[in-house]
Amino acid sequence: MFVAQKIEAGDKAGFYRELLAQAGGLLQGERDAIANAANLSALIHDAVPDLNWTGFYFLKTPSELVLGPFQGKVACVRIPVGKGVCGGAVAKGRSLLVPDVHAFPGHIACDSASRSELVVPLIRDGAVFGVLDLDSPLPGRFTNEDQQGFEALAALYVAASDPWG
């Protein structure tokens, strides 16, 4: 049985190395994309400070994301591709780091307490099939180091999971 350990790294690079190692242990041997998304969102939400929402959205059609496993308050269920931060990350095929969601044109406010957001696309064979979405009640919560750390976690999730099985 996997048991999460408190991460006590002194710097962000060390923190993300340790979180990535724990995530690797958590996902090892499991291919189910939903089970892995559920466990990874719980691990992240528990380990990473100052998050109020952590979860996944998956493309169910080429034009719409649908809510997947998450930790936090009740969320928006459907997001059109190209709309909001999540839909924008899908349309652009790259991560979007938003220091102030209130300044982001077309932001979709699922939780009014969210002030900053980081969305990382899940990409397999050049195609986006979903996103990892992180919200914080603190403006400017996410840095480029956070983005790199979560991009590594998203890549680990993609490698460990079968999104179609």
- Measured between alpha carbons, how far is 79 from 59 in angstroms, rounded to an integer? 9
Question: Residues in the chain, how many?
Answer: 165
Residues 12-160: name the CATH superfamily. Answer: GAF domain (3.30.450.40)
pLDDT for the residue numbered 162 = 85
pLDDT per residue of the chain (165 residues) written in tens, 0 to 9:
677 788 887 899 999 999 999 999 999 999 999 999 999 999 999 999 999 999 999 999 999 999 999 999 999 999 999 999 999 999 999 999 999 988 887 777 777 788 899 999 999 999 999 999 999 999 999 999 999 999 999 999 999 998 665
Cα(160)–Cα(32) distance, rounded to whole angstroms? 8
Residues contacting residue 88 through CB under 8 Å, at least 6 positions apart: 82, 96, 106, 119
Q: What is the pTM of this model?
A: 0.94
Burial class (CB in 10 A: 0-12, 13-18, 19+), 119: buried
| pLDDT number for residue 163 | 66
Check residue 74 and give its pLDDT.
92
Distances (CA, A) of 29 to 25, 42, 47, 122, 159: 9, 18, 22, 20, 11
Domain residue spans of the chain: 12-160
Distance CA 6, CA 19 (A): 9
Give the pLDDT of residue 1.
65
Give the per-residue pLDDT at 71: 96
**SS3 of residue 127 by DSSP:** strand
* Contacts with 89 (C-beta within 8 Å, 6 or more apart), sequence order: 95, 96, 119, 120, 121, 131
- Asked if 102 contacts 115 with a C-beta cutoff of 8 angstroms, the reply is yes
